Amino acid sequence: MDSNFIKSVRKLQQKYYPCDRMLLKRLIKCCVHSTLCYICCLFPPLRDRLGLEPSFLPLISVIIHPGRRLSATVQHTIKCGFGLLSGLCWALLGREIAQRCLGHTWNILSEAEHRELHYARYQAALAILVVFECIMLFYHGWMRSVEHTNFAMVFPFFLVVHFAFSESLKENAREIALSYTAPFFLGIAFALVWNIILFPDLGTTYLGTSVINSLNNIHDAVDDSVKFFTSANHFTKDSSFYLENYKSLLKYKNSVQSKISVTNLVYNECAFEISYSYMAPHSVKPIIDQFRNLSLCVNGLINACQLEFFAIDNDNSKDFIQTRREVIFVDHDRLLKILDILEPCVNDLGSKLSHALYQAKIALAFSYDVSQKDVKASNSFPFAGDVAIGKNQNANHFDEVTESIELALKVFDKTFKNELAGLGYDMLTPSDEMFLLSSFLMNFKQCARTIISVVKETNVLYTKRVERESKGWIRGKKLWFNFMGSFKQFVTFVLGGSPHRSGKTPTSRATHSVTESQALQGNVGNNVTLEYEGSRGGPNEGIAQRPKFEEEQLLGQSEDMGIEKIESLKRKETLPVTSKTGSEVNADETLTLNEKILHAIEFFSFQCRTSWRPHFIFGFQVTVCLTIVSVPMFLPEGRAWYGHMHGPWMAFVAILCMEPNVGGTFWVSFLRSFGVVAGSAWAYLCYVAGYHKSNDPYLCTVLTVFGAFPGFYYFIATPYVKGAIIYIITIYIVLLATIIPSKTLKSGILQNFAKRCFAVATGAPVALVTQLVFFPIQARDCLNEELSFVCGCLSQMILLLETGLESDSLSSMNFTSEKYHRFTTLSSAAKAALRRATEYKGLTRQEPRIKGEYINIEQAQTDIILLMKEIVERLDNIGNVTIHFGSDMLKDVNKDLHAYRRQGVASLLSVIRALGESYLNKTPLPPFLPSARICHRRFVNRIKEVMDQNYGHVIQRMGLVETPNDSDSDNESDSKEDSNDDMLMFARKRKLVISDNTRSKEVLRDTLLSWNARNANFEEVIEYVEELVVFTKKLVGSTDFQYGFLSRPLNAEWAAQAVTDFDDYAQNGTSPSKLQAALSQSSKNERINDNDVDSSVLIRMPTIQKSTTLDMKTKKRAYSIGSIDTHTAEALAHIHDPIPSALDSTSNKSTSPSLQETTIKATELPPILKNVFVNKRND
């Protein structure tokens, strides 16, 4: 019974307060560190050496805590130390000038005597302090807005300056310097000591474990994706099991990205440590660089599995979007047969890749002293996990592994292509089955290539480790000064930044940096923290803001003219000034000093109105808020009262409540208020237990540990960082203010309790009012800005992918490395913006609203962010496939398809631009949004025709289509060509004729597969954009015509009449001769010209009564997507437009066997189109 009760309690504890062994060690270190600092303040001989403010010692013990890796502690120490020293210098300078205003009696008379005897001088001295205080506050707000992690630097800067200005002006500089350096640096030294001697937690040690954890997650994701995709036949027998595997597969997206992010952060932290080991921490950088490619391949494989799930399951209720997917039109039986054919070769290569990746993980674990227990074997491909990699292993082992994988990849490439060729010519033409299959195969091939690169890099590292270990630990191990690797790393170490922030990419800071709360925790990568934030965590404070110049650099209007020309246009052009000698003179040299000053002021004013605006606003808000709270401290009549009420506590609370937006200020004010009240209550309890009846400091100290332990748990393992940190600080400050005797101020525990609560009751409301009155920045506006910014990034990414739209020349269609670098920069910026949007969404919930509840709006915004993430993933996949496999197919057919491509991309970009402007301006969506789906369908149909014309004879000549052995097979082919299933079975029986020109065959097939993979992802992008339109209408609405010819219901009826009853409609105003002429002219103008603006949205369809086609003018008016409702347009789009000869019953036999008969149910059409269409769809 007792054991069951303990298990139940343990289970509840892990559910609501999860804690692992590492977190427990860190909590113990934090409690020991803070308790020691508190005891030092109680010990009189040591307390006398701490100066005027010994309570700063436990305060700094909470800010610089040992509950994180040593590298993070050192990084935080550097920032905090810089803030302390610069603040001390600024405070001493201000006090020195103020003391000069008091005259030679500054150290003789007290402040009360100065107020009575020299009021004017005393008032002038306080005015000097006000000026220095305001400059300090503006600097504090500006730096926090520029880089949120600067809080570790500017908060100590504020503490030193503000509390030093609150001290009596009679104190000399030596006493002030001692009071504001000794407690701070003693606490920092204690933190470093405890981090080393008590449960040492080194970043260089955790680096190897982090790399192995990332590879384990990637390994599982690749294996499960391959197994899921090839086992569709087995899964469909049990739909519930199929669904569970699908849900577990989707979780890998976030987990893989999270593991990789943690690895990058740990690697950056290692620059702040000195390590002693066989391998340098920076030697693992080549492996970490491959993680991005592996992440893209994993996302591509999972997305292909997601498409397969929707294609086979065909249950729209399980989809997270309601828009009809293109993949639901696949032939299920045909797809399953193809998967059966390819399953052996795919699983064979997948098993070998899994085995090789496991061997690489074993070798990396050995190289970086990671426990072999952390290396996980594959669960999808069973093989004995007996791979023992050690110093006795053959050095050529990995060379053999690499060669075997490369050979397996070549065999796989040849095998699956031969199998596809055996299925017939129609499998090489664009179809939904081919799109789905190509998307998986291309990502699988690229994943195999990346794993080969990882194995090769592992071989290099493993060889170095074996070589150094053979020399013995004395000669083999070295002392690695990680910050001395390069000048950039040295600057990073001195300035306390991260290596990625000094990169040239403008988005590197916003993309990879952590939030302000995570920087205070220093616990990034802890499993408990990630779990808590993912399940019950509230909104994070201190969001990594996007620099305003980023939008100008990334989303500036530019033509498709190359990177060099774009950069040249950005350079400032200056006109030369011609002198009498004809030499060029710089215009700035002729300006006077006053003109230069005016130009500098004008430049500063312009920057504050544009790119520096958020920094200026927050700096101004902090200055106003703290000035209001601290007014009594700088008034001669109120300075004594301010000190008696512990006035600096008010400013302390107010500046901690200030956030750059309204929602953040409301949320943090609540957390701070709760933390102050709870901390003061626990301090009162500790004092009453220890000092009320008996002077027992031991009992009081023990009780503080019990109060600090849960506080540190919420501080380190939960998102409620700013409430927890002030809770712990309040316990020690209230106790020490009561216990330590003061010369001028003596207060009891109840008085200090009340004063601390009065401080939060004053500081928090002033911060809220200041944020609401002076240039309020609402979180909902920041959220809309981020969504609009993402729309701009998506537009630029699509333009980079769809090269050659401005001209049909082949030279402009190259997807160069420069374009791909810009593409990845845009992708990183979009992902960072979506993370910020998620945080702003949580803060928006905390803001006051007048227009009703926020629940429905929040749900719509959540779906919009999710859809945008999916779009970015698909575009990343397109870019990854394009840069590795090329886009030669588009070059070959660009002359015939240029207008189609341009219209399709223009339609999609128009919708995305409309969405971005609607988010930013809060305006309804405009009417007549073009349909990118219909444009893309017409593009696919057109490319089928072009392939038949341009590639049919080439494919026949190159042997990509099977030829029969005898004449009997010709007759057999004619009899079986009408049925797709019979054709598939027959194709497997016939022999293939392989051309001698193997290289040309490979290029053609890779090109086709690459384009098909691109197309599969592009179709999903269009579907997600259509779903974005639906959710955006819920937020901002849409402006549709309600009356007249342009209203959708009336025009839908007109379109239906024009399609179904064209003869009667045409005879009303057109003679038969004119009608015949119009029809003949229509057949000539079947293809799109550059001048046909709206022709990309036309849908070609046969009428029921006659096999005639509408003229181009009628098509434009009848089938414009802006003229009919969305449901009608979608129904019309699925109707195939065969060539006129195919409408004749005698010519139906000559149609391609890939044509599939599809019938639209009457319930799926609008009432006006029921029982009208005989629908054929060309796959």
- In this structure, what is the dihedral angle of CA atoms 510, 514, 517, 522, given to the nearest 10 degrees? -160
Per-residue model confidence (pLDDT) at position 1119 = 36
Residue 911 maps to a domain:
yes
Amino acid identity, position 287: I
Do 818 and 739 have their domain in common?
Answer: no
Beta strands 1155-1157 and 478-481 are unpaired
Tell which residue, 607, 767, 609, 623, has the closest CA to residue 138.
623
Do 726 and 801 have their domain in common?
Answer: no
Alpha carbon distance 248, 837 (integer Å) = 26
Residue 732 maps to a domain:
yes
How much is the average pLDDT of 846-858? 82
Do 69 and 43 have their domain in common?
Answer: yes
3-state secondary structure of 1069: coil
Per-residue model confidence (pLDDT) at position 552 = 63
Residues linked to residue 1177 through DSSP beta bridges, in sequence order: 1156
Residue 1038 maps to a domain:
no
Per-residue model confidence (pLDDT) at position 152 = 85
Alpha carbon distance 1171, 1165 (integer Å) = 9
User: At which of 945, 978, 1009 does a domain end?
Assistant: 945
Res 689 pLDDT > 80: yes
Prediction pTM value? 0.79
Alpha carbon distance 413, 448 (integer Å) = 11
pLDDT in tens, 358-394: 989 999 999 888 888 888 888 777 654 445 555 555 5
Per-residue model confidence (pLDDT) at position 513 = 54
542: left (phi over 0), alpha (psi -120 to 50) or beta: left
Which one of 285-299, 327-341, 521-535, 1003-1017 scores highest in mean pLDDT? 285-299
Out of 47-51, 949-953, 1084-1088, least confident range: 1084-1088
pLDDT bracket for residue 201 (50, 70, 90):
confident
Per-residue model confidence (pLDDT) at position 312 = 82
Per-residue model confidence (pLDDT) at position 1055 = 53
pLDDT bracket for residue 586 (50, 70, 90):
very low
Tokens of 548: 């305003």
CB neighbours of residue 854 within 10 Å:
16
Residues recorded for the chain: 1179
Per-residue model confidence (pLDDT) at position 885 = 85
* Tally of structural domains, the chain: 5
Amino acid identity, position 912: I
- Asked whether 942 and 1095 are in contact (CB, 8 A), the reply is no
Res 157 pLDDT > 90: yes
pLDDT in tens, 499-538: 444 444 443 443 345 677 777 776 655 555 545 454 444 5
Res 1179 pLDDT > 70: no
Residues linked to residue 749 through DSSP beta bridges, in sequence order: none
Res 947 pLDDT > 80: no
**Chain-wide mean pLDDT for the chain?**
76
- Asked whether 883 and 805 are in contact (CB, 8 A), the reply is no
pLDDT bracket for residue 492 (50, 70, 90):
low
Per-residue model confidence (pLDDT) at position 302 = 94
| Better-predicted residue by pLDDT, 486 or 997 | 486
Token pair 């000669």 is found at 475
Do 1058 and 1140 have their domain in common?
Answer: yes
pLDDT bracket for residue 230 (50, 70, 90):
confident
CB neighbours of residue 945 within 10 Å:
15
Tell which residue, 733, 539, 707, has the closest CA to residue 646.
733
Out of 59-68, 113-122, 554-563, least confident range: 554-563
Distances (CA, A) of 267 to 77, 256, 262, 455: 18, 17, 9, 20
Which one of 44-58, 224-238, 479-493 scores highest in mean pLDDT? 44-58
Do 189 and 61 have their domain in common?
Answer: yes
Tell which residue, 58, 169, 72, has the closest CA to residue 118.
169
DSSP 615-649: HHHHHHHHHHHHHHHTGGGGSTTTHHHHHHTTHHH
pLDDT in tens, 878-927: 999 989 887 777 777 777 888 888 899 999 999 999 999 999 998 898 88
Out of 169-183, 208-222, 604-618, least confident range: 604-618
Distances (CA, A) of 322 to 806, 910, 940, 969, 1134: 35, 22, 23, 47, 17
Amino acid identity, position 186: L
Distances (CA, A) of 377 to 143, 343, 361, 389, 1093: 47, 22, 9, 14, 57
Residue 855 maps to a domain:
yes
How much is the average pLDDT of 1022-1030? 93
Residue 255 maps to a domain:
yes
How much is the average pLDDT of 727-756? 85
| Better-predicted residue by pLDDT, 537 or 610 | 610
Alpha carbon distance 911, 936 (integer Å) = 14
Out of 18-22, 46-50, 200-204, 441-445, least confident range: 200-204
Give counts: helices (H), strands (E), the chain.
49, 6
* Helix boundaries (H) for 167-290: 173-179, 182-197, 203-230, 232-235, 239-269, 285-289
- Asked whether 543 and 836 are in contact (CB, 8 A), the reply is yes
Which one of 296-300, 694-698, 1006-1010, 1055-1059 scores highest in mean pLDDT? 296-300
Tokens of 174: 């030596």
Secondary structure element (H or E) that encloses residue 930, with its range: none
DSSP 1129-1157: HHHHHTS----HHHHSGGGGGGS-TTEEE
For 654, the domain range is 649-777
User: At which of 749, 777, 805 does a domain end?
Assistant: 777
How much is the average pLDDT of 102-122? 88
Do 743 and 790 have their domain in common?
Answer: no
pLDDT bracket for residue 486 (50, 70, 90):
low
Alpha carbon distance 750, 684 (integer Å) = 7
How much is the average pLDDT of 387-407? 70
SS (H, E, C) 894-908: HHHHHHHHHHHHHHH
Residue 213 maps to a domain:
yes
Secondary structure element (H or E) that encloses residue 674, with its range: helix 662-691
How much is the average pLDDT of 399-416? 85
Alpha carbon distance 780, 847 (integer Å) = 9
User: At which of 176, 201, 226 does a domain end?
Assistant: 201
DSSP 577: E
Cα-to-chain-centroid distance, residue 635: 49
Residue 419 maps to a domain:
no
Do 692 and 833 have their domain in common?
Answer: no
How much is the average pLDDT of 231-238? 68
Do 838 and 826 have their domain in common?
Answer: yes
How much is the average pLDDT of 1169-1174? 36
| Better-predicted residue by pLDDT, 771 or 982 | 771
pLDDT in tens, 1076-1089: 444 344 333 434 44
Per-residue model confidence (pLDDT) at position 620 = 93
- Asked whether 222 and 352 are in contact (CB, 8 A), the reply is no
Tokens of 419: 């199998």
| Better-predicted residue by pLDDT, 219 or 510 | 219
Do 252 and 354 have their domain in common?
Answer: yes
Token pair 């009420």 is found at 645
Do 155 and 266 have their domain in common?
Answer: no
Do 752 and 884 have their domain in common?
Answer: no
| Better-predicted residue by pLDDT, 185 or 497 | 185
Do 230 and 365 have their domain in common?
Answer: yes
**1024-1027 — which CB contacts under 8 Å span 24+ positions?**
1024/321, 1024/323, 1024/867, 1024/870, 1024/871, 1024/874, 1025/871, 1025/908, 1025/911, 1025/912, 1025/915, 1025/932, 1026/323, 1026/932, 1026/933, 1027/321, 1027/322, 1027/323, 1027/863, 1027/867
Residue 633 maps to a domain:
no
Alpha carbon distance 832, 511 (integer Å) = 5
